[in-house]
Amino acid sequence: MINTACAQKHTIRKAAKSDAIQGICGTVLVKRGNHMPGPGSPRPNTDGSPVEREVLIFSLLNMSQVEAGENGFINSVGQAKPIKTVKSGTDGKFCVNLPVGRYSVIVQEPKGLYANSFDTKNNIFPVTVEKGKSAQIKIEITHQAVF
């Protein structure tokens, strides 16, 4: 069973474009369909389509701390609780103010928690927030796409 109750305890708000001075700003995009090159194959939108989703920000999480599912889904984050939760707009954009530090960014999909980006140490979608800066990221939801 997917543990999503933790996200509901935090305030969810729509993000304004220049909402965060120090934190994380980004765009959530969904990619679907066949992205394999081939003759006569219609090419889907390779950039992805902006989508409205809850974006959960955790203190840096490692794959060893979570129960991984299939295709980028996370079945459980154990005792970890999101520091902040923000909802991307219909344009896929979001911003969240955060203190300096390292964070993991996870998206709430209808099927559960999703992250498909990791560093060489298996940290889940790691993002570093520096003093006075906004880290710019792009979240690509690709579990319905073939590459």
Amino acid at the residue 9: K
Position 141 scores a pLDDT of 87
Contact criterion met (CB below 8 Å) for 29 and 140: yes
pTM for this prediction: 0.76
pLDDT at 46: 62
pLDDT at 14: 45
Residue 105 confidence (pLDDT): 97
Question: CATH number for the domain including 137?
Answer: 2.60.40.10
**Tens-level pLDDT at each residue, the chain (147 residues):** 444 433 333 444 444 444 447 999 999 998 766 545 556 655 555 677 888 999 999 999 999 999 998 888 899 999 999 999 999 999 999 999 999 999 999 999 988 999 988 999 999 999 999 999 999 999 998 756 454
Structure tokens at 143: 């579990």
26 is in which domain, residue-wise? 5-38+45-146
The pLDDT, as a whole number, for residue 41 is 57
What's the total number of domains in the chain?
A: 1
Count of alpha carbons within 13 Å of 63, Cβ hemisphere only?
A: 16
